[in-house]
Amino acid sequence: MIRWREAYDRIKDLPQFVQYFKKDLPLGEFRFLAYSQRFDSVPGTATAGVLGIPVGPLAQNFPSGAVILGITAAGYQAQQSAAAAAYPPSLSAGRRDLFALSFQYSGAEQITANGLTMAEPLLGSGYDTIFPAKEILIPPSQAILCAVATLTPNTLPAISVVVVYHCMVPRNAN
């Protein structure tokens, strides 16, 4: 995850930051918020190794704008005894090897340029947050759209995915 002090020093004089948050908004006038989205029962796939039907995109709105310092995600799959034996739990944190994500701004500009990207290489192993590599500035009243697809076979229980946006927002934000 990007450190807030480093991000602030890098962006405080950018024209977009000044436009979205006022030039003289000091470091201490921001607070940390974590926005989350939940994708329930993402359907499996009929063909091994092929992504299933995407769920979403769902919009995550940022009413007062935001500086996104990191995005994390984890998947949950209910295990039944037969399914657990056939498909043992992943060694990766948050089962990020089982699903893919895509992100774009509400104005249709892509953040993940190739669309759906496996969560493990995109976000990191779960032990360290590597996405985004640089902070993302979101204007007030804008959104990020996120879609999810899974690689789990449709013979197993559906997977649910939670995506969390770790942000700094102006103190007056809800």
Q: Give me the pLDDT at residue 89, please.
A: 53
Q: Give me the pLDDT at residue 148, please.
A: 96
Q: Give me the pLDDT at residue 1, please.
A: 86
pTM of the predicted model as reported, rounded to 2 decimal places:
0.86
Give the list of residues 6+ apart from residue 6 with CB closer than 8 angstroms, or none.
Answer: none
Q: Give me the pLDDT at residue 82, please.
A: 52
Asked if residues 44 and 52 have their Cβ atoms less than 8 Å apart, the reply is yes
Tell me the CB-side half-sphere exposure of residue 75, using CA atoms within 13 A. 30
Q: Total domain count for the chain?
A: 1
Q: Give me the pLDDT at residue 92, please.
A: 43
Asked if residues 136 and 143 have their Cβ atoms less than 8 Å apart, the reply is no
Encode the chain (174 residues) as per-residue pLDDT tens digits. Answer: 899 999 999 999 899 999 998 766 777 889 999 999 999 988 888 887 788 889 989 999 999 999 999 999 998 887 655 545 455 554 445 688 889 999 998 887 888 888 899 888 888 876 677 888 889 999 998 999 999 999 888 888 888 999 999 999 998 755
Residue 92 lies in domain: 4-170
CA-nearest of 52, 45, 76 to 155 is 45
Q: What is the pLDDT of residues 81-110, one digit of tens each?
A: 554 545 555 444 568 888 999 999 888 788
Task: Give the CATH number, domain containing residue 63.
Answer: 2.60.120
What is the SS3 assignment for 42? strand
